[in-house]
Structure 1
Amino acid sequence: MCRWCARRRYELAPAAASLTLTSLSWAHHLGGVGLGEHLAYGGVTAAATAATVLALKNKHKTFATAAGSAAAVVGDTWIGASLGPSVPSLIATGLVIGGAYVPYMRWLTRERQARLKLSVDAAKAGVGVEPLGTGTHTGLTGASPEETRLMQALVAMLSIPAVDVTALEHTRFGWRAVVTLPAGRDTAPSKVIARREQLAANIGMPGKLRLAKGEADNELVVCMYETDPLAKTLAWPGPSTATCQEPAVLGMDAFGQPVLVELLYNHVLIGGASDNGKSSLQSVLIAYVAACEDAEAVLIDLKPGAVELGPWGPCALALADTPAKALHTLEWVWAEVQRRGEYMRDLGAKQGKPVKKWIPGEHGPALFVFIDELAELMRQLPGAAKLLESILQVARFTGITLVCATQSPSNRVFGGNTDGRQQYQVRIGLGAKESTTANLIFGPGAYGDGWCLDELEGPGYFLRWDRNHQVPVVSRAFFMTDDEIGAATHRYARADTVEGREHPQDVPDPDDDPTPPTPTPPTPSGPGGGRPVLRAVPTFPDGSPIADERHLALWKAIEEAGQEGITIDALVALGLPEFNARSSVNGPMSQWRNKGWVVEAGKKGRAMKFRLAPRPAMPQQQTAAAAASAEEETAACPATL
């Protein structure tokens, strides 16, 4: 009854409390009051009176008021229990009520003045606030202490009450609520998120506050974590599935739920600053692919030594660690897209119904291409941008998925022609120092919607976006130690690289120093194919690979001219990519002439002709060593079928 009066009619609160206790004391009188109850009433009254005198003596005003009120209330209850419904009892109740209203009226006056100011501010913002004591939601008192603190904190920060607080629920880590904010530029969820520290201080409750934009434009998700499930490093629990048709488990979110990612048919973009866990997160995904019986991994890592993805080489169909291998690998992937498309067309014609999607296990293994530092790949292979765009646009239906990690996911990374980010159905953002990184990964305006990567606390923390998760929720990825990576690599290594591929049940550790059998190269067969053989890598006279497709086309045009040579104008007339003017051809030609790779071959009219300089003869031993090196490089990476 007191709570109802406090929310409905503030003026009646002291009278309602006193009358309620008096009624209960009369009920106690009717049931009989013994000597023990009288002693209890008297003891409590005496103790409260003594506490009041002591507080007044020590000038503790608040404590004196509380103790005096307790003494008056207990004394009134004692009189009601002793005399029952009578005039003395009513007189005592009236005196208590009158005494309570002396301080209460002063508080009520201040509250009405503050409420009036709040109503004026709300009216200016277009939010309806009902008068004090007459509405179901006063804007300052909620249905629970958490709701009350939250509503009062928002009023203190925005000077305008929230429209509504709904879906407040307690979890095993704290509590969560959805707040409907009033309309206005300064009351948008993005503005509140930017002032998270101030709101946390206003709430004044223990725990960690996290804010996010809700499903509606004016909704704010407020989460208070009394215990943080992400505070400790999350150990990798091991593979969770044996098929890529089930989602991968990346880690745990702030609500203690596993983070599931549908990897099949969904390209993945992983972005964030260095040393924030991109490679570790990729390791979790590679381990997922390695454990799947219906999937194969292809790795591209142009860091010197392939230090990030190189350890997973035994589990992969191919590992490209040089620009030439990377280019040939992407060409092979594109050829595989075309081959699978033709296979599905022929299979549909044979079955009498179209086959529109590659099903792993039925048509062949799914292919997951992991690229570490996509920006570095584009810098070293600018000609691969269009090839990568084509794979992103049309490869999904053939069961081929790209998983790309980069520190700068802008359209320049994709060659500057189109924004390839639109093709990534799953985007994962790790910690970053600048707010603009969130907009580069998740799209324009993402930072204002709560995708704040600069607020993530350390390595492994990330935000995930896909079709089913469009509200930012802080998560943390599993961490794989070097020993766990080594054990997983040994366990799921391909049969043509080490002893075997055991999956997925636990197996005993192998004997020390086992004798590996002689590997038998697989025979390409069936729709899934096998490891194809690389063609020879074209090189300059100094042995360096010709990785740029444009330079390779220009070099071949001069080579095909033979000893007769070819003029600059004739090279321009061939219409080679990006060599449609003399100025564009003169650049590489000058470099090659300075290095002695291209020499003059006479004149044609007034124009000078050029040809390739003859390559110096190599000793037989060096030739054999070079052939062995080329053969070893050929066996390490796939190329165009």
Structure 2
Amino acid sequence: MFIPPEADHVTSPVEKTSGHGRTRRMATAVCRWCGRLRYELAPAAVSFGMTCMGWLHHAVGVDPAAYAGYGLGVAATAGLTWGGLKFKSSVATSLGIASTATLINSGLGAVTGPSVPSLISGGVVTIASYAVYVPWLVKTRHERFNLQIKAAKTAPLPDGMGVNIGQPGVTGDTEEETALRRALVALGVPAVDVSRIVFTDTGWYAMVTLPPGKNTSAHAVIAKRQQLQANLDLPGRLRLAEGPQANQLIVRMQSHDPLAGPGIPWPGTRISSIEQPIPIGIYPDGSEILIDIVDGHVLIAGGTNKGKSGAVNVLAANLVACDDAYLAGIDMKPGALELGPWQPNMVALADDADTARQLLVWLKGEMTRRGKYLATLRGPNGERVKKWTREHGKYIVLIIDELAELLRQAPDVASELMTLMQVSRAMGIRIIAATQSPSEQAFGGKGTDTRQQFGVRIGLPVNEPTPINMIMGTGAYGQGWRLDELDLPGKCMVSSERYFEPNEGRCYWITEHQILETSLEHASPDAETAEEGRPHPEPDPEPEPTPPTPPGGGGGPRGGRPVLRAVPTFPDGSRIPDNRQPLWEALEKAGPEGLTKPEAVSRGICNHHTSIGPWLSQWVAAGWVQEDSKRNRAVVYVLTAAQHTPAPEASATDEEIAACRTSL
């Protein structure tokens, strides 16, 4: 019998713990099971009953008259069998054979009592009866299925068709079960069995066993959910999911929504460490939705105006209060409209493709540095330390708002992002990525798909079923992760190591005033915007301000806020690969005089001039480099006038040169 976990509250604690209550529940379950399968158990029950009657007769004593009675009964049933065979009556023949076997079994029990011959006789009779009974039962049920389907399509169903739940019919124990059975019949998928409907505070649920077949599978019924709900004609919202077996369907009807309303107010920050679970909302039973950041990267995805910003801000509001975490952000809205209020609490905030590229490159370098640092550590027994904890320094959490827009504007950062997603967890770096456009391109494309790296997935309402499997995983739609049925902004379903089953909840609603107040409370004392606390800071007059130092130090063995250097890029904005950067910088430094391939070899830029030939050819074809005369019979390559940047004068100091390349 199907009893989901959420049904536990329907039984009182006293009844659960008392022996009388357990005995009563067990007896009730056995009686209900026997009632549902009474047609399947009928031959065995008759055979067992007649055997017991024979043993009882043996116990009270058997006189000659009783022997004569058994003999006459066997003779009569044998005659009935002979008559059925003679006049070709299958009913008379079957009845005669069954009666003869039953009387022989009972008579043998009366003569021998409880003995091995009597048990063997009872077993043989039972097996023989099932060999005849099962084909008849299957045929009869198929005929009833066809009759019910025809009746449902042509006229109202009479209550007399299947007035029980043991035999497939259209009338159940309750009004809801009757409606469910009739709705399935009208859909062309009669139920083989419907488990006892369990009523909860929000509605009811049950599990339906469907006939075997492709067109009657649970997946096929889920695809017709709207038609099934129309057939039910009951108040509430219908939810369907696949059961443990392919032909089992879990049906949930929600008649009351405790999460309805304008929003659930955010109760405030209640954690002080990133290693503590972060509450982001509540479930219908009042329990909180907890997110474990240390368990893996977090994906937040949903449609436009469906609560994505609220979930991001609730996570950020909790993270800024953690003493063992640094916060960084990438907000692809110009001016960082979403994450801007948290800038006083962040070590870095990027709001365009260039600064986002710099931040990801810095994070990749920090990941490498932390990995080398962990390699120097040993545990109490001399074992290598392979996982970053708060004992080694602060965690780093990167929040990316609108991941799809980042990869659209800077597709070259997909490799850095994939490396961080796959490797950085062991080095104490976590990524929270939010997107309103869940698509293959939003996760890096086929070659760099990052979806499998998200250990925690927060699915918000979507407008159609297509993105559900992309957000929650392959097959999620059929398993009940119906994000398209979430009817209010902020409603969500969470998949993580803590939550395996689809369960509808709702995220907290955090106001702009709470965001500003929390940001100011936990802002860095030396952050430039901490005093003003502007939710939308104005552009700084200095083009390349120096990042402030972090509050309280830390951040690993070196610590400190990141000093982000400008990442070299080609004229089209794409990043220059590390192996091509020396050649490009040499061309920039050469200026109008240009550079030849032999000169590049002599300066140690490459081992042989053929290795840089394809690169120069690509740059010439792109219009970034031009061929300008020859020097010592070698072609001179010069940056085009539009792309050439004069090299710094020799009198410039190293600090001035570094300042020119400092960004953010």
Q: Does 1:367 align with 2:396?
A: yes
Q: Does 1:387 align with 2:387?
A: no
Shift of 1:315: 1.7
> Taking structure 1 as reference, are residues 320 and 230 closer, same or farther at Cα in structure 2, changes over 3 Å only?
same
Shift of 1:303: 1.8
The answer on whether the counterparts of 1:601 and 1:610 sit within 8 Å (CA) in structure 2 is: no
The answer on whether the counterparts of 1:411 and 1:417 sit within 8 Å (CA) in structure 2 is: no
1:610 to 613, 622, 638: 638
SS in 2 for 1:152: helix
Q: Does 1:443 align with 2:509?
A: no
The answer on whether the counterparts of 2:38 and 2:166 sit within 8 Å (CA) in structure 1 is: no
Supply the distance in 2 between the matched residues of 1:364 and 1:121 (Cα, whole angstroms).
Answer: 72
| One-letter code aligned to 1:584 | Q
Supply the distance in 1 between the matched residues of 2:366 and 2:569 (Cα, whole angstroms).
Answer: 29
Quote the residue 1:410 is aligned against: 440
Supply the distance in 2 between the matched residues of 1:381 and 1:7 (Cα, whole angstroms).
Answer: 63
Q: Does 1:585 align with 2:619?
A: yes
> Taking structure 1 as reference, are residues 535 and 293 closer, same or farther at Cα in structure 2, changes over 3 Å only?
closer
> Taking structure 1 as reference, are residues 520 and 600 closer, same or farther at Cα in structure 2, changes over 3 Å only?
same
> Taking structure 1 as reference, are residues 213 and 325 closer, same or farther at Cα in structure 2, changes over 3 Å only?
same
Shift of 1:393: 0.9
1:192 to 218, 221, 227: 221
Supply the distance in 1 between the matched residues of 2:300 and 2:227 (Cα, whole angstroms).
Answer: 31
User: What per-residue deviation string (whole Å, max 9, x for no partner) do you get for residues 143-197 of structure 1?
Assistant: 443333323322332342143425x432222222233333322222232223222
Quote the residue 1:338 is aligned against: 368
> Taking structure 1 as reference, are residues 632 and 536 closer, same or farther at Cα in structure 2, changes over 3 Å only?
closer
Spell out the pairing of 1:470-485 with structure 2 (5 A cutoff).
470-485=500-515
Shift of 1:320: 1.6
Quote the residue 2:236 is aligned against: 207
1:160 to 163, 171, 190: 190
Supply the distance in 2 between the matched residues of 1:499 and 1:561 (Cα, whole angstroms).
Answer: 42
SS in 2 for 1:391: helix
> Taking structure 1 as reference, are residues 449 and 603 closer, same or farther at Cα in structure 2, changes over 3 Å only?
farther
Spell out the pairing of 1:466-545 with structure 2 (5 A cutoff).
466-497=496-527, 525=554, 527=556, 529-534=558-563, 536-537=565-566
The answer on whether the counterparts of 2:301 and 2:459 sit within 8 Å (CA) in structure 1 is: yes
Structure 1: runs of 5 or more not aligned: 11-113, 124-130, 502-518, 637-641
Spell out the pairing of 1:567-586 with structure 2 (5 A cutoff).
580=614, 584-586=618-620
Shift of 1:8: 10
| One-letter code aligned to 1:610 | V
Quote the residue 1:20 is aligned against: none
Supply the distance in 2 between the matched residues of 1:8 and 1:470 (Cα, whole angstroms).
Answer: 33
Q: Does 1:317 align with 2:335?
A: no
Quote the residue 1:247 is aligned against: 277
Supply the distance in 1 between the matched residues of 2:288 and 2:211 (Cα, whole angstroms).
Answer: 34
Supply the distance in 1 between the matched residues of 2:507 and 2:173 (Cα, whole angstroms).
Answer: 36
Shift of 1:307: 0.7
Supply the distance in 2 between the matched residues of 1:206 and 1:540 (Cα, whole angstroms).
Answer: 60
Q: Does 1:280 align with 2:295?
A: no
Structure 1 length-normalised TM:
0.65
Q: Does 1:354 align with 2:384?
A: yes
> Taking structure 1 as reference, are residues 523 and 197 closer, same or farther at Cα in structure 2, changes over 3 Å only?
closer
Supply the distance in 1 between the matched residues of 2:395 and 2:550 (Cα, whole angstroms).
Answer: 21
Quote the residue 1:558 is aligned against: 587
Q: Does 1:378 align with 2:407?
A: yes
Shift of 1:523: 7.8
The answer on whether the counterparts of 1:271 and 1:409 sit within 8 Å (CA) in structure 2 is: no
My pick for the range that moved more, 277-286 or 428-437, is 428-437
The answer on whether the counterparts of 2:274 and 2:319 sit within 8 Å (CA) in structure 1 is: yes
Shift of 1:266: 1.0
The answer on whether the counterparts of 2:164 and 2:172 sit within 8 Å (CA) in structure 1 is: no
2:483 to 445, 450, 453: 453
SS in 1 for 2:509: coil
Q: Does 1:549 align with 2:579?
A: no
Q: Does 1:422 align with 2:452?
A: yes
Supply the distance in 1 between the matched residues of 2:203 and 2:590 (Cα, whole angstroms).
Answer: 76
| One-letter code aligned to 1:213 | E
Supply the distance in 2 between the matched residues of 1:585 and 1:499 (Cα, whole angstroms).
Answer: 42
My pick for the range that moved more, 174-183 or 368-377, is 174-183
User: What per-residue deviation string (whole Å, max 9, x for no partner) do you get for residues 187-218 of structure 1?
Assistant: 22232223222222332322222223344444
SS in 2 for 1:340: helix
Supply the distance in 2 between the matched residues of 1:562 and 1:139 (Cα, whole angstroms).
Answer: 89
> Taking structure 1 as reference, are residues 220 and 202 closer, same or farther at Cα in structure 2, changes over 3 Å only?
same
2:297 to 223, 248, 267: 267
Spell out the pairing of 1:87-236 with structure 2 (5 A cutoff).
117-120=143-146, 136=166, 138-165=168-195, 168-232=197-261, 233-236=263-266
Shift of 1:548: 1.9
Spell out the pairing of 1:302-313 with structure 2 (5 A cutoff).
302-313=332-343
> Taking structure 1 as reference, are residues 313 and 220 closer, same or farther at Cα in structure 2, changes over 3 Å only?
farther
Q: What is the identity percentage for the equivalent residue pairs of Structure 1 and Structure 2? A: 37
SS in 1 for 2:451: helix
Shift of 1:288: 2.0
SS in 2 for 1:325: helix
Quote the residue 1:431 is aligned against: 461
Quote the residue 2:112 is aligned against: none
Shift of 1:527: 2.4
The answer on whether the counterparts of 1:439 and 1:447 sit within 8 Å (CA) in structure 2 is: yes
The answer on whether the counterparts of 1:141 and 1:151 sit within 8 Å (CA) in structure 2 is: yes
Supply the distance in 2 between the matched residues of 1:333 and 1:416 (Cα, whole angstroms).
Answer: 24
When the two structures are aligned, how many residues end up with a matched partner?
490
| One-letter code aligned to 2:414 | A
User: What per-residue deviation string (whole Å, max 9, x for no partner) do you get for residues 373-421 of structure 1?
Assistant: 2222223333221111111111112221111122134156425423221
Shift of 1:226: 2.2
Supply the distance in 1 between the matched residues of 2:306 and 2:355 (Cα, whole angstroms).
Answer: 28
The answer on whether the counterparts of 2:394 and 2:555 sit within 8 Å (CA) in structure 1 is: no
> Taking structure 1 as reference, are residues 587 and 171 closer, same or farther at Cα in structure 2, changes over 3 Å only?
farther
SS in 2 for 1:369: strand
Quote the residue 1:28 is aligned against: none
My pick for the range that moved more, 425-434 or 224-233, is 425-434
The answer on whether the counterparts of 2:217 and 2:247 sit within 8 Å (CA) in structure 1 is: yes
| One-letter code aligned to 1:207 | G
| One-letter code aligned to 1:389 | M
My pick for the range that moved more, 470-479 or 230-239, is 470-479
SS in 2 for 1:158: coil
- Cα RMSD, aligned residues only: 4.3
Supply the distance in 2 between the matched residues of 1:581 and 1:539 (Cα, whole angstroms).
Answer: 16
Supply the distance in 2 between the matched residues of 1:499 and 1:410 (Cα, whole angstroms).
Answer: 37
My pick for the range that moved more, 334-343 or 554-563, is 554-563
Shift of 1:346: 2.1
Shift of 1:486: 1.0
The answer on whether the counterparts of 1:432 and 1:453 sit within 8 Å (CA) in structure 2 is: yes
> Taking structure 1 as reference, are residues 254 and 202 closer, same or farther at Cα in structure 2, changes over 3 Å only?
farther
> Taking structure 1 as reference, are residues 568 and 155 closer, same or farther at Cα in structure 2, changes over 3 Å only?
farther
SS in 2 for 1:348: coil
User: What per-residue deviation string (whole Å, max 9, x for no partner) do you get for residues 68-91 of structure 1?
Assistant: xxxxxxxxxxxxxxxxxxxxxxxx
